[in-house]
Amino acid sequence: MNWKNTFVAGAGTGATLGTLVAVIMLSIGLEPPSLLAAITVFFGMIFISAFIVQKTSQRIGCCNPSLKQLIPISFLTFVIPVLGASFGAPNRDLDTVLTIIFLGTIGGGFWSTPFAIWNYFRSSKSSEPPTVHSLNHNEESE
């Protein structure tokens, strides 16, 4: 996948996760009754946001992001910027909800950086023209 698409998919995953957290935890005010329920809700939001971005990207023909990349991006975005902001949210006003969505978008872009760098070097390595050394090696083997 293109490194630019990796950033877009990562930011989209963060925005989707931020929206889910804002709607479920702030707007609805869901308070899980037990630790198991909380873990289930948290991991559910992480996996759902990654899956939504993957299916949406495929449907619009933008790219085909891998869940192997989107799930870690979603998890890290949830742990660092989104969870702390949602726990420390002063109220349920629109500006608070939009702030959490914005933080999710920024966090998704930030956490997609290692994957974008990886995709950049992987795609540039595969698109390099053959070198003289590799041509000589191929001629010798024939």
Query: Per-residue pLDDT tens for 104-131?
Result: 999 999 999 999 999 899 887 766 555 5
Query: Per-residue pLDDT tens for 60-117?
Result: 988 889 999 999 999 999 998 888 888 777 777 888 889 999 999 999 999 999 999 9
Domain boundaries, the chain: 3-141
Instruction: Look at residue 34 in the predicted model and tell me its pLDDT.
Output: 82
Task: Between 36 and 141, name the one with better pLDDT.
Answer: 36
Q: Residue 51 pLDDT more than 90?
A: yes
Instruction: Look at residue 94 in the predicted model and tell me its pLDDT.
Output: 86
Task: Between 10 and 24, name the one with better pLDDT.
Answer: 10
Enter the pTM of the model.
0.79
Q: Residue 46 pLDDT more than 60?
A: yes
Query: Per-residue pLDDT tens for 8-21?
Result: 999 999 999 999 98
Cα→Cα distances 77→63, 120, 126, 135, Å = 21, 22, 30, 45
Q: Residue 140 pLDDT more than 80?
A: no
Instruction: Look at residue 26 in the predicted model and tell me its pLDDT.
Output: 66
Contacts of 42 (CB under 8 A, 6+ apart): 78
Contacts of 117 (CB under 8 A, 6+ apart): 3
Cα→Cα distances 52→34, 67, 110, 119, Å = 27, 10, 19, 21
Task: Between 57 and 85, name the one with better pLDDT.
Answer: 57
